[in-house]
């Protein structure tokens, strides 16, 4: 991936940060995106430059059409056209609420940030990818999103992500002749500091909710994305991949007697 330009949204911290580091180690020049975490984004950018590649940090809210277009414009001006787009950013309200309890603005922000903004970003970078006959697009979902089941108290978020499932599959078919792959990663319930840990660092941490028995890590997600971005992974497209240790976020774990 040496010399490729990768844009990872929401990459100042967490899973996005681990993904950015993983791609930078493979030789990608990185565009780091943030909304509020300016200090973390700039520190990560410096760390990535220490790996011998270029890196920039750009503030932009993916839920805003003007800001997401500016994000790509700045990336192209400073690094070149985007080869790899990882759509990691997306608003999420952890508090469980019925759909009727959400405000109008919360619903619109949730859908714009998790579906419409992602589609517009893809649409913006596709022409350059087509011209190169090469591109990698990664979307983020949630565990078992591909099954489009009901997820009570997560209505707006789940609807946006399930819509993204269909879009992922459609775009994969449409862009395959141009050497562009499109896949969705569906992380398990990876929380807090574990989002920036390696597999070795979480291997001894027990997780009673995940069938695998250990906590997930940022590396679990980043290493799959890295693999999907390799040249030789061009036969993998239109897939919805659960990286969850077997966790189902909707149904409870059935434990052995």
CATH number reported for the structural domain that contains residue 236 in this entry: 3.40.50.720
Compute CA distances 142 → 6, 63, 115, whole Å.
Answer: 23, 19, 13
Nearest to 106 by CA among 162, 160, 47, 51: 160
Nearest to 229 by CA among 176, 172, 171, 183: 183
Using CB atoms within 10 Å of the CB of residue 102, give its burial: 0 to 12 exposed, 13 to 18 middle, 19+ buried: middle
Give CA–CA dist 104/91, Å, rounded: 15
C-alpha atoms less than 13 angstroms from C-alpha of 105 in its C-beta half-sphere: 1
Domain presence at residue 154: yes
Using CB atoms within 10 Å of the CB of residue 40, give its burial: 0 to 12 exposed, 13 to 18 middle, 19+ buried: middle
Residues 18, 196 contacting (CB under 8 angstroms) = yes
Q: What pLDDT is stored for residue 14 in this prediction?
A: 96
Q: What is the pTM of this model?
A: 0.93
Number of domains making up the chain: 1
Domain presence at residue 257: no
Q: What pLDDT is stored for residue 251 in this prediction?
A: 67
Give CA–CA dist 47/131, Å, rounded: 31
What sections of the chain are H helices per DSSP?
14-25, 38-49, 65-78, 104-111, 117-132, 155-175, 199-202, 218-228
Domain presence at residue 111: yes
Domain presence at residue 248: no
Give CA–CA dist 241/224, Å, rounded: 9
Nearest to 98 by CA among 36, 30, 156: 156
Domain presence at residue 256: no
Give CA–CA dist 245/247, Å, rounded: 6
Q: What pLDDT is stored for residue 62 in this prediction?
A: 95
Q: What pLDDT is stored for residue 216 in this prediction?
A: 87
Q: What pLDDT is stored for residue 209 in this prediction?
A: 79
Question: Other CB atoms closer than 10 Å to residue 98's CB: what's the count?
Answer: 9
- Domain of residue 115 covers 5-243
pLDDT in tens, the chain (257 residues): 899 999 999 999 999 999 999 999 999 999 999 999 999 999 999 999 999 999 999 999 999 999 999 999 999 999 999 999 999 999 999 899 999 999 999 999 999 999 999 999 999 999 999 999 999 999 999 988 988 888 889 999 999 999 999 999 999 999 999 999 999 999 988 888 999 999 999 888 888 778 888 888 999 999 999 999 999 999 999 999 999 888 887 665 555 55
Domain presence at residue 252: no
Domain presence at residue 249: no
């Amino acid at each position: 991936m040496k010399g490729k330009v990768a844009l990872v949204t929401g990459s100042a911290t967490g899973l996005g940060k681990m993904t950015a580091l993983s791609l930078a180690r493979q030789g990608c020049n990185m565009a780091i995106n943030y909304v509020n975490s300016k200090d973390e984004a700039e520190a990560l950018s410096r760390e990535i430059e220490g790996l011998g590649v270029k890196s920039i940090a750009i503030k932009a809210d993916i839920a805003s059409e003007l800001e997401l277009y500016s994000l790509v414009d700045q990336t192209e001006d400073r690094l070149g056209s985007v080869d790899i787009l990882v759509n990691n950013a997306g608003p999420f309200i952890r508090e469980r609420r019925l759909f009727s309890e959400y405000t109008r603005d919360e619903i619109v922000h949730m859908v714009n940030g998790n579906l419409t903004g992602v589609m517009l970003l893809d649409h913006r970078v596709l022409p350059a990818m087509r011209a190169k006959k090469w591109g990698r697009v990664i979307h983020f979902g949630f565990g078992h999103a591909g099954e489009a089941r009901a997820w009570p108290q997560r209505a707006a978020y789940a609807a946006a992500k399930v819509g993204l499932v269909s879009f992922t599959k459609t775009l994969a078919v449409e862009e395959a002749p141009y050497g562009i792959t499109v896949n969705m990663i569906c992380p398990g319930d990876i929380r807090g500091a574990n989002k920036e840990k390696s597999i070795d660092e979480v291997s001894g941490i027990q997780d009673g909710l995940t069938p695998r028995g250990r906590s997930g890590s940022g590396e679990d997600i980043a290493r799959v994305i890295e693999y999907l971005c390799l040249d030789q992974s061009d036969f993998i497209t239109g897939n919805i991949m659960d990286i969850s240790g077997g966790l189902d976020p909707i149904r409870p774990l059935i434990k052995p007697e």
